[in-house]
Structure 1
Amino acid sequence: MRIATWNVNSVKQRQEHLLRFLKEEAPDVVCLQELKCQDDAFPRLELDGTGYNIAVRGQKSFNGVAILSKRPMEDIQLRLPGDDSDEQARFIEALVPGDKGVVRIACIYLPNGNPAPSEKYSYKLAWMDRLHAHTRARLREEEPFVIAGDFNVIPEPKDAARPEQWVNDALFLPPTREKFRSLLHLGLCDALRATTDADGIYTFWDYQAGAWQKNNGIRIDHMLLSPQAADRLRSVTVVRHTRGWDKPSDHVPLMAELDV
């Protein structure tokens, strides 16, 4: 099973890019973030014929997440537990069948949190606490579980081309990184770091100041695996060339292959 995650930064603006990616890479499952559209505006008709089942939690102009799967999904969850008042569309989860069993996949768009300190940063940390609690509960089920998406977290200095530029940013502040590590300490595996410890691997390049041309990037899109999923990990790929397409997203897809 090939699972991809991609912050498309407006699915309607990046519709042709998404179709091209699906055709070229043919992932079995795609987690999308930052759709920037409501459910009924998601381009279902345009994706008709690609062979993907679609589960969406949209939001007008902001946020929005979706899971595309070649196989029918079950047990679709549209909210991260822990705060019934939270209306932001940042979480969707589903069971996806494979040839050798099912995989539970959570697609997340974790809050940015800037500026910090602020209510936005407090919301980010509280959201991470809720994700921690949800993950702990899921891990008790001892099933293959994948959390994929835009985490808005730079885990380590080597995950930024110029870490000194990010020291006061919510993506790199010590409390942010500590809460990310606490997720890993539950028993999750950072899929990319399980396959390489190399520097210079990024998933985001800002539109400003020629960041892409200068390779001034950061790694903020992640795929975290439960022990049962990590045992089945075959490979991880950053589909870097999509950042060079015409009018691209500022993120690129991250893709992992699991033996399920």
Structure 2
Amino acid sequence: MGRGQRAEGRNGVAILAREAIPILTRRGLPGDFDDSHSRYIEAAVDSILIACLYLPNGNPAPGPKFDYKLRWFEQLQTYAADLLALNLPVALIGDFNVMPTNLDVYAPERWRDAALFRPDFRAAYADLLTQGWTDAVRQLHPKERIYTFWKYWRNSFERDAGLHIDHLLLSPTLAPWLRKASVRCGPRGWEHTSDYAPVMIEIEPPSD
């Protein structure tokens, strides 16, 4: 299942499952908040609640898009806390458009003024983790320079000049099931492919 922005918009989120039917639980963040950009969808797949998001880019900063991203992130923080209160296995995943640390960007000094690297959003992401979420990739690869996105300019992929902006956050109930986390860089090198690479995790639920 998925949702996409109408007209000429390029935003969209989706949840697919193999040998299972996702049960839709929410489209858009709750409350009096405009999510006409189709940035959030949520569904139960087997015993796991999957929350898939596409957080606004926020550029140029400062400006209306930057302010919109701040409001969106604040609403996400509020709802993420509600998700944790369910005490269920929850995965909060997608394009956060945030590079949390210097390890998440190929040249930090070149990105100081970009919304993706501004202290406001790095702090907002850190606040999410302090709620109790586990960053799956950083949990298993705490000191590696890992990227999920490479621009289509100046041979960024060939030079490995990338950004790590896609994150998979796991609730305290789900985090102990984590076994592997990786970025499949191969598809990014295909012809006419996306500028993103798939981020993968493997989990192993309890056998009982």
TM-score, normalised to structure 1, is 0.76
Cross-structure match for 1:216: 161
Cross-structure match for 2:120: 175
Cross-structure match for 1:65: 13
Could you list the structure 1 runs, at least 4 aligned residues long, displaced by more than 6 angstroms after superposition: none
Higher relative contact order (CA 8 A, sep 6+): 1
Cross-structure match for 2:69: 124
Shift of 1:76: 2.8
Q: Secondary structure at the match of 2:2?
A: strand
* Structure 2: runs of 5 or more not aligned: none
Cross-structure match for 1:145: 90
The 5 Å alignment of 1:183-222 reads 183-222=128-167
Cross-structure match for 1:74: 23
Q: Confirm whether residue 133 of structure 1 aligns to residue 66 of structure 2.
A: no
TM-score, normalised to structure 2, is 0.94
Q: Secondary structure at the match of 2:195?
A: coil
CA distance in 1, matches of 2:36, 2:193: 28
Instruction: Out of 158-167 and 171-180, give the one that drifted further.
Output: 158-167
Aligned length in residues: 202
Q: Secondary structure at the match of 1:217?
A: coil
Deviations 1:6-31 (A, max 9, x none): xxxxxxxxxxxxxxxxxxxxxxxxxx
Q: Percent of pairs identical after alignment?
A: 43
CA distance in 2, matches of 1:184, 1:196: 16
* Structure 1: runs of 5 or more not aligned: 1-54
CA distance in 1, matches of 2:33, 2:66: 19
Counterpart code for 2:25: I
Deviations 1:137-190 (A, max 9, x none): 111110001011111000001111111111000000000100000000000000
CA distance in 2, matches of 1:77, 1:85: 14
CA distance in 2, matches of 1:255, 1:167: 28
Cross-structure match for 2:188: 243
Deviations 1:110-141 (A, max 9, x none): 00000011110111011111111111011111
CA distance in 1, matches of 2:124, 2:143: 23
- Cα RMSD, aligned residues only: 1.0
Shift of 1:206: 0.4
Q: Secondary structure at the match of 1:154?
A: coil
Cross-structure match for 2:52: 107
